[in-house]
């Protein structure tokens, strides 16, 4: 493949954009520091296999730009200040896998159960096997729980009401590549450095280096979480709840309240007392 000095200059520019030294960059793309130095400094031909290593690690690097100088450096939109392509690439590939340490009698991973109290310590112990060993665990026979890594976490608060109630439990599957595998607008369990939240997630990693987190309860504001603050993401696949609403009873209560309001308005319009009792 023909090489030009411009290619070397563009490769050097890209490495600078990642914020890494030549040696650190080489380590990430599976090459040696000497090979990278040769590529950017010698101005001599080198094998296509080395470029393939780089494109595999950084799929958003625009090959047309690197090889021909055409178009923009990145396939994606311009990244915000402080968010480098290296950060995005790392986020796609290096999220910490869950430390599942127990199996059932059939050799399958158990589902670790994390109550609200234990959830407070989850981020700080995310890579601590002892933390998981001290937690209860169970297995489910259903096929949808046989493949993948799941945890069961107790919800605290009412930010996801009415989808989830305080002290409900969610069963969630680990998402290996969240920047690509997030199911837009669905409920996810997000483990950040600051805590654990259950929210609907919108993926804005490529545009702003962030996830948008939404509550189902309108009294809680939507906010963004930077990917550098996120340790793990799980997609919620099931819930366990002790609250079984009587929908018919709730509807009757709503109708009774509406009737009372109508009577009150009518009484005021007629100049009458609005304290009359409705017939049962």
User: Across the chain, what does the average pLDDT equal?
Assistant: 80
Question: Exposed, middle or buried by CB within 10 Å (0-12, 13-18, 19+), for 100?
Answer: middle
Among candidate residues 128, 134, 135, the one with its CA nearest the CA of residue 151: 135
> Which residues lie across from 113 on neighbouring strands?
152
The answer to whether residue 103 is domain-embedded is no
The answer to whether residue 90 is domain-embedded is no
The answer to whether residue 100 is domain-embedded is no
Q: By residue range, what is the domain housing residue 143?
A: 111-240
Q: Mean pLDDT, to the nearest integer, of 223-239? A: 91
d(CA 15, CA 144): 42
Q: How many domains does the chain have?
A: 3
Assessment of whether the complete model's pTM goes beyond 0.95: no
Q: Name, of 3-12, 24-33, 103-112, the range with top average pLDDT.
A: 24-33
pLDDT > 90? residue 45: no
Tokens of 55: 């494109």
Same domain, 219 and 255: no
Over the stretch 111-160, which tens digit does the pLDDT of each residue have? 889 999 999 999 988 878 788 888 888 888 888 887 778 999 999 999 99
Same domain, 38 and 124: no
Instruction: Return the CATH number at 33.
Output: 1.10.260.40
């Amino acid at each position: 493949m023909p090489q030009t000095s411009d290619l070397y200059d563009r490769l050097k520019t890209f490495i600078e954009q990642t914020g890494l030294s030549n040696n650190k960059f080489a380590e990430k793309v599976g090459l040696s520091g000497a090979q990278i130095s040769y590529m950017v400094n010698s101005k001599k031909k080198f094998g296509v296999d080395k470029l393939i290593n780089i494109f595999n690690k950084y799929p958003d690097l625009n090959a047309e730009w690197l090889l021909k100088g055409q178009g923009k450096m990145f396939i994606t939109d311009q990244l915000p200040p402080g968010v480098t392509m290296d950060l995005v690439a790392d986020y796609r590939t290096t999220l910490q896998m869950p430390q599942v340490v127990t199996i059932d009698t059939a050799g399958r991973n158990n589902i670790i159960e994390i109550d609200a109290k234990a959830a407070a310590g989850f981020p700080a112990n995310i890579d601590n096997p002892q933390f998981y060993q001290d937690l209860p665990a169970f297995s489910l026979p259903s096929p949808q729980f046989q493949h993948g890594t799941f945890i069961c976490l107790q919800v605290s608060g009412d930010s996801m009401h009415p989808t989830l109630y305080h002290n409900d439990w969610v069963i969630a599957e680990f998402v290996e590549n969240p920047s690509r595998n997030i199911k837009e607008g669905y409920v996810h369990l997000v483990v950040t450095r600051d805590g654990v939240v259950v929210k609907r997630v919108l993926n804005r990693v490529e545009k702003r280096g962030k996830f948008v987190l939404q509550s189902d309860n309108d009294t809680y504001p939507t906010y963004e979480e930077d990917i550098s603050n996120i340790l793990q993401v799980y997609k919620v696949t099931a819930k366990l709840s002790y609250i079984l609403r009587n929908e018919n009873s709730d509807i009757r209560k709503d109708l009774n309240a509406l009737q009372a309001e109508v009577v009150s308005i009518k009484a005021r319009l007629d100049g009458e007392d609005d304290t009359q009792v409705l017939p049962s």
